[in-house]
Chain A
């Protein structure tokens, strides 16, 4: 069974001229790190938001571990952990308070939750800053805290939207290392990035999406081999998506 199976998804936002997703299909095998790669505005975040029940597609199916994202979201949310592109934490609470509150809302038993928070804070190097408010955190610290908040319930499927964008080198190394470690615990990871070197290094498989359509997928090594004149994943990416710059303003 696939960990994620997306078939022929169409999504056009209200007021948009072109669709964000235009018949997009792909799948993710369990216990792998899969990179969803594409230029700006390709539809990566839209895809992830559909998987997490934050956006409703116009048509198509999205299935996670055999469950329909449109019908069984409450069950899916128990074993999926989404790390959104934006920081999703209570700014005026400390990291510790945030994690305790979020863990309680997941219904986690308090001893187990305390241990889990302690372990994750240490793992992400935030144990010394656990009692500082989030608003006092640096960008890299906020990113790491944001990831911890999605890991409290030990999701079988971890989905990260641009976890390494605009993050300092040390934080990025720590995040990538953790992703590999988490995969080795038997978990599945889907993550988006626009950094090809990084994807080549951590991904078992990559899926390239452009203008809301599936382009190609495969293991980075295989893709490099099968595409003419390519030495790196970045060459493959440029080969398929072209050299035209994509600028999508973030605000309508």
Chain B
């Protein structure tokens, strides 16, 4: 299993200009092109998860995630916010890199936790924030994942 296989280039947004955490979550959910109701439910679930504790794991990275029946397969998106967002992260620093992961309650191949784990592993590499900052197009983001062997 390779992370890059789960990302499509149209679900990678490198120039987010959103102002708040909520607006950012909505924008990233929008990359999945669901209907309006489904987007609303997904956003609400992600918010609920954030209310249980921020998914900002530090070093400018956040990994919002949830399961919901409104998606019929695992979906992932990546967003980069260069100015930085207040995400109530563990280290209280602004968040620049957001990995969004959603999956249905039951998946045949059970990829949700492994994918979440791989993104966490990737995020822990010391030079990753720096490298994510340097990416200029979605393809380079995918190359970075591949280079890191995740």
A and B found bound together? no
Residues of B within 8 A of A (CB): none
